[in-house]
Structure formats: structure tokens, C-alpha cells
Chains A and B, each alone.
Chain A
Amino acid sequence: MPAHAPLLCLRDERPGWGGAPVLGPLTLTLHRGERVVLMGRSGVGKSTLLETLRRRLDAGPGGRELAIVAQDHGLVGPLSVFHNVWMGQLDRHGTARNLRTLLWPSRAERALAEAALAETGLAGLGRRPVAALSGGQRQRVALSRALARGGAVVLADEPVSALDPAQGAALLAALAARFPTAVLALHDVGQAMAFATRILGLRDGRIVLDAAPATLTEAQVMDLYA
């Protein structure tokens, strides 16, 4: 598939929760190979838009090529770090295999998860229960899950909010290297400018900014938060 083929189109959509629209009407086309960052004040609907994209991609043929980093991390506390990482690929295996992995993970499975954990700086913590980790470590487990899964597209909601700037930048670079296409919600302007090939600014339920970072000034971005 060509790198800039459209990945999905929204036309006059009004995404929302439980029948009450939060956003819209929105018209938006995403292309393969883009790294899109959603920006805007809290509550403006970044998570809602990500959820809409996720549902659309999940339902389409590309569902198997999609990885997700949820804002609440989506971790199961009493399970081990390994299990939480492996959880990202349950849909790629049969039920019997998944039940076996739950009880007796194989060496190869552990190694695969361990490689992703090494990338996020959690090497060696595979057997620790997630409930025993700190907030920043949990966020890195969620990132490891997406990195271990891999695929064509990653959707991530504030994936580095609990990490220090250097760590955050490194892990955003890891996401960019692993996934050809990415849609992220970020609040740090510097990180967004460094990561994105396209910035979408949301305000009052609409897209008020849609441009490449090179063509933007910091003031234009800060306007979103005014």
C-alpha cells in the first residue's frame, strides 16, 4: 500500500458518549505514514476522538494492525508485568493457546515481552505484579504492551504523561520507530512539535488547527489553550 494512502475518513461525524455528542461535526482524513498529535485543553474531546478512530479501525480490516495505549493504562493489577504486556496480542492467538499462556507462559513468549520491557527500561520486572509498580512504571508497562504488539497504527492517549521529559522523548521516538502511523494525544507542546508530522488542534468541539509543525509558531499552538 502506498505510504500516503488514506487510512480512514470521518465526514460530518459527531462523536460522543452515550448519545450526547462531545465533538463535531467533524470532517477528517488520516493518511498512512502520518504521525498526528491531537492538542487542546482537557475535556475538549481528544480522548473521544481517539475512541472514535479506534472503533472505526477496529471494525475495519486493519483491526489486527492496531495497537492502543490507553490513558488509564488498561492494566490488570494482580497479574504480572509479563501478562499485562502479552495481553496486547491475545486477539492474534486461539483461546486454548491464550489460556495456556495465562497459566504457563513459554520461554519464547517471555522473551518477546522482555524485549519490549527492555526498550522501556523495565527489563527484569516481568514477574512483578503490576499492582506493585509506581505510576510511571505502569505507564511504561502500557507502552511496552503496544511496542510488543507492534502493527501499522498506534493510538495513544497521553502515553508519556507520567514520565520525565528525557524518558518521554525517548519513548515517543520508540513509538515513531515501531509504528508507521500514529495518532497521539499530548499536552506537552515541545514533545508534540518534535514527534508530529501533523498537528490537529481541537477547540469548542471542532478542529481549529490542522498543519505541519514546521509551519506553526508556538503562539498559534498556545492559542488553543487560551
Chain B
Amino acid sequence: MIPRLTGRGMLAIFAVLSLAALWRADLSGQQPDPWLILSRIGQGLLHPALSDPGAILRGTALTLAFAFVGVALGAGLGLLAAPFYRRAPVRLACIGLRALHELFWALLLINLTGLSPLTGVLAIGLPYAGICAKVFADYLDEADPGPARALPGALPPVLRLLWLRLPQCLPEMRVYTLYRLECAMRSSAVLGFIGLPTLGFHLETFFKQAHYAEAAAVLMIFLGLILPLRHWMRWRLVPVFLALSLLALAQVEVPPMGPGALGRFLSDIVPAPIRGGTGWEGWLSKVFLDQAWPGVVVTLVLSQVALAGTTVFAAAAFPLIVPRVVGRAGAALGHAVLVVFRSLPEYVLAFLFLQVFGASMLPAILALALHNGAIIAHLAGRQAQGLALRADAPRGLTLWAWELFPRLQANFWALCLYRWEIILRESAIMGLLGVGTLGYFVQRNLQELRLDRVVALLVVTVLVTLGIDALSRGLRARLRAGLRAGAPDGASAGIPAGAGRAEQAGCGPG
């Protein structure tokens, strides 16, 4: 039992931890002249260009194809697993699936299925199956029991599920799947950074060759697809989209894998000492002391600073989309800025900042804070617009400080805590860009073809993620309990009904 803490006490601990992490963080920019790069990127953005439209078109189509097939697989498996989610084996499998980031899944699967479309589809589909199963199971649990009570006789469970509970949840499941599709577009693009033929692949190439005009064009194409997603995505067209996606994926040329890939993979993931050759002591100390420990420390440091940055940015940014604070034009501008940050994947943002500031923790921190902060700001801002304000309520910053923030506080902290686990998963991934988090050591072992160490590090990553998830859920439960106890009439003065839904719909992993 954690001793009873006031909100202020928790905030103080959070601030101290963040400052300590900031002190440990490496913020030294290596880039001699960030302004030069920034101005070149700016020029590229003003004059986007495409030298090989065919290749970019193919990359765009494949980005969509991976997203569609991946989400179909994930949502389909999730739907099948959801009714059995209360059974421990199913739940544990789902937790394991979703605790690993899509990129880690891809890096692991590449050793089994090569740089093939299957790798990309599974990398998206497997973790999404885990998260969809959980969310769908929650929806099913919350389905109104009224219809079952209103029917005479006992129905078999399968009929209760398909006739009564599932139909009630379908509208919510559709909304959530649409949100997942948006996440999958980001995941799909990012998979290009490890060699799959999506837009991320072109983005990385163009940036590395300093072709900023072309990189800008790729970014704009991606935004042009993801921003109006809810308008072009039609449920009736899903079979067509899926068929086209499968067709597109079938066209991808797959580099040949030698025969016996599965056998090799299975033997490679067995720890080296079991296979013989080395002793346990050396292996354990190498994997856990030299790699996992520093990897975990840097991952936690990065995620702590990023979470603090997220919180500060979100608190400052959410009023930017409230017309009563910044005016109509200001709110439109605020929306435009936030939508760009929340639509671009963290990994792409970090890669962009890496080009500008050079290698250090700074690009990763900025990327995580801006992306996650923009998501929270968007949700909190929408709630702020929904608040019923008295007619003589102040305007501008006074409104933010005296009305909006105090009234939205509880929900705001809940959203930040909810994002914590996601930031941690992403922090581990940032190692692929050179920061010394768990992902860095995973990648190094992959290059040395030491799959046993990769698997050990991934297990550590899963455990740390689960630990943070449990902590975050515990803190959120305390937050809710504290509110209920503190509310004068027992009514939920703080977290509005459906806040959990908002978290899920707008804040899921990815």
C-alpha cells in the first residue's frame, strides 16, 4: 500500500524525478549549425518536389496496404479473443503481444520471414490484436444487460454474445478500429525505416541525402492521407480496400530467405549457454549488466523527461484550440499546429529533429513531448470547449488559469498517466536512432545476429512496460478514488463520464 499522498505531494515527486532525469539526460547537440539545416528544411517545405513520382506512389500505396491488412488482422483477432479475455491464458497472451512495440516485432520477425510483406503485416497485426482484444472486451463488459433480462428463458452464451452484446458494441468498435487505422498508418510509415517499402523508407533516404524538397513532399503526402482519413474511409468500401491492399502486398518483391529459416530462428533464440560454447556467467553479465541495465536506465530517464515535456506542452497548448482563449483565428491556427504534431509518428519527428540537432537525447525528447502533448492537448481542448461556462466567465489566459485548467485538471492528469506507458514503449524504440535506450542494444545484437540476447532484452522491455502500466493504472485509480471521496456530493466533479472512452479513442498505444 502506497502511503496516502496529496495531489501536490505527487506533483512534487514527479517534478523532482523529472529534474533528476533531466540532469542525467544528454542534451548536447552535436550538430554544428542547426539553423542551417533548419532553414534548408524550411526551404524544402516551401518548394516540395518529386523526382520519381512512380516510386513514391508505390510507397504510398504500400503504406496504406500494410495499415489496412495489419488492422484487419489485429481487429479480427482481437474480436475473436475479446469474449475470452477474462481467461488468464488469453489475457496474458494479449498483454504480451501489445507490450512490444510494432518496430520491435518487425525487427524480430525479419529474422523469420525476411523483409517481406508478411513481416510488416504481422508487426502491425500482432500488437494491435492484443490491444483490440482488451478494448473490445471492455466494451462487451459494459454492454447493457437490459436486453438479456428482458428475454424469457436462458440463452446459450454464444447467442447472448452475438444477438445481444456484440450488436450493442459494434458502433464503438467501429470508431475504435478507425482510430487504430490511423495509428496503423503511422506504424506502417515507420516500418519503412527498417527497410520495408513504405513512405518511411523514402523519407529516410531523402533526409540522409539532404534532398529536403523531396522529403517535404513525402511528408505532405503522408499528412494528406492521414488528416482526411475519416472522410475517405468508408465502411462499405472496406472489402475493396482490403482486396487492393492484398494485391499491392502480393506485388512486393521479397528478397529470398535461405531454406530452414524457422529452424535457424528457433535455435538462435535459445540462450547461447544452453546451446553450449559459453558459460552462463559471461552471458548473463553481458546481457543484463552491460546491456539491459544501462538500457533500462536510459529508457526510464528519457521517458521521464519526455513525460514532463509532454505534460508542460499539453497544459500550455490545450487552450490554443479554445476560441474563448485565443480567438477564432488563433484556435484555427492552434488546431493546425496540433494536428500536424499528432498525425506525424514520434519516430519520424525524432528522425527529423535528429537531422537538425544532431545525435543526443534532445531529438527524442522533443519528438515524444510534442507528439504526445499534442494528443493530450487536443483531447483536453475539446473538453474545454464542451464545458458550460457562465455568461460572465473571463476570457483569454485568465479563463485558462481560473476556469479551464482547474476544472479539467483531474482528467488532464489521467490522460498524462495514460500516455506514460506509451511514452515508455516509444522511448525504448528511440534507441534505433542512436539514443542508448533498450532499442539501441536490441539493434546492436541484431547486427551481430545474437537473437538470444535480442529476445532477452525484449523480455526486459516487456517487463518494464508492464511495470509502468501497472503503476500508471494504480495512480489513475487513486486519482479517481480521491476525486470521488473529495467531491462534496459524491458526484464525479472531476473526471467526466466517458473520459475512459476518450482515453481509448484518442490515446491508445501507437
Interface 9-mer from B23-31, B155-163, B200-208, B440-448: B155-163
Complex Cα gap A73–B149 (Å): 10
**Cross-chain contact A58 with B153 (CB below 8 angstroms):** yes
**Chain B 152-174, CB within 8 Å of chain A: the 1/0 string?**
11111011001110011011000
Complex Cα gap A145–B210 (Å): 69
A148 interfacial contact with B, CB 8 Å: no
B146 interfacial contact with A, CB 8 Å: yes
**Cross-chain contact A90 with B149 (CB below 8 angstroms):** no
**Cross-chain contact B158 with A95 (CB below 8 angstroms):** yes
> Which secondary structure characterizes the binding site on chain A?
helix
B147 interfacial contact with A, CB 8 Å: yes
**Cross-chain contact A64 with B171 (CB below 8 angstroms):** no
Complex Cα gap A79–B164 (Å): 9
Known A78-B167, A102-B162; contact A87-B152, beta-carbon cutoff 8 A: no
Complex Cα gap A142–B150 (Å): 9
Q: Which of B156, B158, B159, B167 contacts A79 (CB 8 A)?
A: B167
**Cross-chain contact B159 with A95 (CB below 8 angstroms):** yes
B497 interfacial contact with A, CB 8 Å: no
Complex Cα gap A115–B186 (Å): 52
**Cross-chain contact A90 with B168 (CB below 8 angstroms):** no
**Cross-chain contact A91 with B151 (CB below 8 angstroms):** yes
Known A75-B147, A76-B147, A95-B158; contact A102-B163, beta-carbon cutoff 8 A: yes
CB distance from A160 to the nearest CB of B (A): 16
Chain A residues, CB < 8 A from B168: 76-78
Chain B residues, CB < 8 A from A74: 146-151
**Chain A 108-142, CB within 8 Å of chain B: the 1/0 string?**
00000000000000000000000000000000001
Chain A, interface residues (CB within 8 Å), range = 20 to 34
Which residues A69-107 have CB closer than 8 A to chain B?
A: 69-70, 72-79, 83, 87-88, 90-91, 95, 98-99, 102
Chain A residues, CB < 8 A from B156: 95
**Cross-chain contact B152 with A68 (CB below 8 angstroms):** yes
Chain A residues, CB < 8 A from B155: 90-91
Q: Count B-side interface residues using an 8 Å CB cutoff.
A: 20
A37 interfacial contact with B, CB 8 Å: no
Chain B residues, CB < 8 A from A180: none
Chain A residues, CB < 8 A from B148: 74
Residue in A closest to B156 when the chains form the complex, CB atoms:
A95
A196 interfacial contact with B, CB 8 Å: no
Chain B residues, CB < 8 A from A198: none
Complex Cα gap A54–B168 (Å): 24
CB distance from A42 to the nearest CB of B (A): 19
Chain B residues, CB < 8 A from A98: 159, 163
**Cross-chain contact A76 with B153 (CB below 8 angstroms):** no
Chain A residues, CB < 8 A from B164: 76, 87
A24 interfacial contact with B, CB 8 Å: no
A67 interfacial contact with B, CB 8 Å: yes
Complex Cα gap A78–B167 (Å): 6
**Cross-chain contact A88 with B151 (CB below 8 angstroms):** yes
Chain A residues, CB < 8 A from B163: 76, 79, 83, 87, 90, 98, 102
A66 interfacial contact with B, CB 8 Å: yes
**Cross-chain contact B171 with A78 (CB below 8 angstroms):** yes
Residue in A closest to B148 when the chains form the complex, CB atoms:
A74
Known A63-B152, A142-B150; contact A76-B167, beta-carbon cutoff 8 A: yes
Which B residues contact A (CB, under 8 angstroms)?
A: 146-156, 158-159, 162-164, 167-168, 170-171
**6 pairs of residues in contact across A and B, judged by CB atoms under 8 Å:** A66-B153, A68-B151, A75-B147, A76-B168, A99-B158, A99-B162
Which A residues contact B (CB, under 8 angstroms)?
A: 54, 57-58, 63-64, 66-70, 72-79, 83, 87-88, 90-91, 95, 98-99, 102, 142, 149
Q: Which 7 pairs show the lowest CB-CB distances between chains A and B? A: A74-B150, A91-B153, A70-B150, A66-B152, A74-B147, A79-B167, A72-B146
